[in-house]
Amino acid sequence: MSDATRTASPEPSVRPSSRSAALLEENARHLAHPNVAAFLKAIAEAEGGGYDFKYGALKGRSNDRWRFRDTSTHPGPGIDGKTTAAGMYQITRPTWEHHGGKLGLKDFSPRTQDLIAVEILRSLGVIDAIKDGRLGEVMPKVARIWAALPKGPGQSNHYPPQRYVKFEDFLTAYLAGGGQTA
């Protein structure tokens, strides 16, 4: 998609509202927690994302037409022309518009992607459980958002037949990212 055909970013005010600013500050604190950071790394590993990936991009392929450079806005559809999942956490355009607008974010930079992923976790009510390392409790909720995640140990995902990682593999990525369990 050319830059000329891209739609504008969400329309939050130029200065975030005090509520948006408070949410951004809160999410930045959550993002700094080692278990939250490790959880996000494990999501990215499961989803196969990179900060510059549209749906369909492949890790290890440097000249991939499903990668993007312009982070001023959400990059739009990927390989199938329909799915707008993009970035490290495969955030869809409607999710970016909703959460980005709520947080006063206007771009699709790596920092914005991280903060939106934290906002999704916060809005699901799972941040404290993640900080405490209670992953089994968290997985059923987050697996509804990220299709590549299992519902828990020994369980599949919510969206068969879509590919998903086994809980053990998710846990391995989480622990490798510095996370700790309860």
pLDDT band at 58 (very low <50, low <70, confident <90, very high): confident
Is the pLDDT confidence value at 94 over 50?
A: yes
pTM of the model: 0.88
pLDDT for 45 equals 95
- Per DSSP, the residues of the chain read --GGGPPPPP---SSPPHHHHHHHHHHHHHHTSHHHHHHHHHHHHHHT--TTBBTT--TT-TT-TTB----SS-----TTSS---BTTTTB-HHHHHHHHHHHT--S--HHHHHHHHHHHHHHHT-HHHHHHT-HHHHHHHHTTT-TTS-SSTT---SSTTS----HHHHHHHHHHTT----
Location of structure tokens 């999501």: 43
Is the pLDDT confidence value at 148 over 60?
A: yes
Cα-Cα-Cα-Cα torsion 116, 25, 31, 33, nearest 10 degrees, comes to -160
pLDDT band at 13 (very low <50, low <70, confident <90, very high): very low
pLDDT band at 7 (very low <50, low <70, confident <90, very high): very low
Is the pLDDT confidence value at 104 over 90?
A: yes
pLDDT band at 15 (very low <50, low <70, confident <90, very high): low
Is the pLDDT confidence value at 113 over 80?
A: yes
pLDDT for 16 equals 61
Is the pLDDT confidence value at 8 over 80?
A: no
pLDDT for 1 equals 30
